[in-house]
Amino acid sequence: MCGTSEELFDFIATGLAKFAEKEAGKFHLPQGRQREIGFTFSFPVKQTSIDSGVLIKWTKGFSVSGTAGKDVVACLNEAMERQGLDMRVSALVNDTVGTLAGARYWDEDVMVAVILGTGTNACYVEQMDAIPKLQGNKSPSGRTIINTEWGAFSKGLPLTEFDRDMDAASINPGEQIYEKTISGMYLGEIVRRVLLKMAEEGALFGNSVPEKLSMPFVLRTPHICAMQQDYSEDLQAVGSTLYDVAGVESSLKARKVVIEVCDTIVKRGGRLAGAGIVSILQKIDEDSNGAIFGKRTVVAMDGGLYEHYTQYRRYVHEAVTELLGTEISKNVVIEHTKDGSGIGAALLASANSKFDHDY
């Protein structure tokens, strides 16, 4: 995450080489045909064609030198050449676009795709007539996909002192604020900062403050997820997690407070994510003169945060229902599409193959 561009893409190409070796001769391409792959790349790029795109900036804690301003497809193709791999990238796909493509392949009612994992993003199907900036040829369907990069939305969000302090200490202060309030990389860190202040000013864990609790990102979202799954009377799993991860000795009373803090931060994150989903649905509905809310509309969802964090998932659904109202929300289906971005990238790579298919 903090190496050089060459190191990162060599790492990816090495993984590809190991994967290809596992086939052990079971898969053979016709003579003269090169293997084509879809490249899911979940960072902001200026995409000039389906198989090229220049990295605008890293997000989600990545700080790889020498990549910004470069074509990431060229970076990967060069790395594959260094590994002796006869492959080329035929489709560069954002993870949200891949998720939408993979889900829509099976279900034409899919109109939105959302990633809620380490980071977050969303895309949706848009009428090309609604995009004044878009010049040139239109697609036969008159529609295209808009990658919103909504994690970068940074204005108008109500922030706490804990959000502001975390942002100031991050590698990209003032950026990705929406992502920093709703995604998996940051929820645990916000909880840690709240608990640290309660320990320092309210003696939450006794008279001393454990040194490990002062370490940024020592408490991660999987930890708070695990604590919220503890339904025992003595909250033993909460106590064990606090001790193992942050060196905290806790009473039952303190553990209950910790659970309440976790729930508060996670509820806010889930509700903000739900609000983002509703805003996209409302935009599509306005552009299509009310054609969305009157029929079944599917939001394809991928990402470990949504998949594994039960309470977070529930808060997302509750917010969507609350904001749309019971009747309209009945038509909105949020479906988990596991590994959707990879499957969608493979489909798009196949669709953009430079070879004729013979199935």
Q: Which sequence positions are flagged as catalytic?
A: 60, 95
According to DSSP, the β-strands at 120-127 and 52-55 are unpaired
Q: Could you give the CA distance from residue 298 to residue 92 in angstroms, rounded to a whole number?
A: 24
How many whole angstroms separate alpha carbon 149 and alpha carbon 84?
34
Strands 87-93 and 35-40: parallel
The one-letter code for the residue type at 26 is: K
Report the C-alpha gap between 152 and 164 in whole angstroms: 15
Instruction: For the chain, list the strands marked E by DSSP.
Output: 35-40, 45-49, 52-55, 87-93, 110-116, 120-127, 143-147, 297-302, 332-336
- Beta bridge partner(s), residue 302: 115
Whole-Å CA distances, 337 to 94, 136, 280, 304:
15, 33, 19, 11
Of 286, 348, 329, residue with least CA distance to 127 = 286
Alpha-carbon dihedral of residues 71, 146, 88, 120, nearest 10 degrees? 80
First to last CA, the chain: 40
| 71: amino acid identity, one letter | D
The Cα 10–Cα 69 span in angstroms is: 18
Q: Are 122 and 96 in contact, with CB atoms under 8 Å apart?
A: yes
Contact 182, 116 (CB under 8 A): yes
Q: Which residues contact 224 (CB under 8 A, 6 or more apart)?
A: 187, 188, 191, 262, 265, 266
Do residues 40 and 98 make contact, with C-beta atoms less than 8 angstroms apart?
yes
